Amino acid sequence: MTNTNQIVGRFGERLAVRHLIARGLVPLDRNWRCPSGEIDVVARDGPVLVFVEVKTRRGAKFGAPAEAVSADKARRVRRLAARWLATHGAGDRRQVRFDVVAVLLGADTVGVRHLRGVF
């Protein structure tokens, strides 16, 4: 990832976390890493544990940001969520949801779209 892409990605993640907090979710972890990959955001939505994939794009030339979450990416996030749960002792005691927050940075506008339970 280039430096510009990293900056854009971090900015998008900050916007996504603000958006989640504004909707009542409580962030528990950000950019959690293990040897298999990274989970962008882990949050609590009442009794539900939410694993959030954040996708940020600087325009729609290559499609909407959420379109970048492929079936392979969804499977990877699910595997990572299982590792997060095992690492944090949460096991199967919690209800789990997988969300995508799509951030689109336009020339004059910023759009944030929260897709709940998408995979």
For 8-27, give the DSSP string.
HHHHHHHHHHHHHHHTT-EE
Token pair 């005691």 is found at 93
For residue range 24-75, what is the model confidence (pLDDT) as tens digits? 999 999 999 999 999 999 999 999 999 999 999 988 777 889 988 999 999 9
For residue range 90-107, what is the model confidence (pLDDT) as tens digits? 766 679 999 999 999 988
**CATH number of the domain within which 58 lies:** 3.40.1350.10
Whole-number Cα distances in Å, 110 to 26, 46, 58? 23, 28, 9
Collect all residues with Cβ–Cβ distance below 8 Å to 103 and sequence separation of at least 6: 12, 15, 16, 54, 55, 56, 57, 65, 110, 111, 112, 113
Collect all residues with Cβ–Cβ distance below 8 Å to 7 and sequence separation of at least 6: none
How far apart are the C-alpha atoms of 105 and 107, rounded to whole Å? 7
Q: Which domain holds residue 107?
A: 3-115
At position 29, the amino acid (one-letter code) is D
Residue 3 confidence (pLDDT): 87
In the chain, % of residues over pLDDT 70? 96
Number of domains in the chain: 1
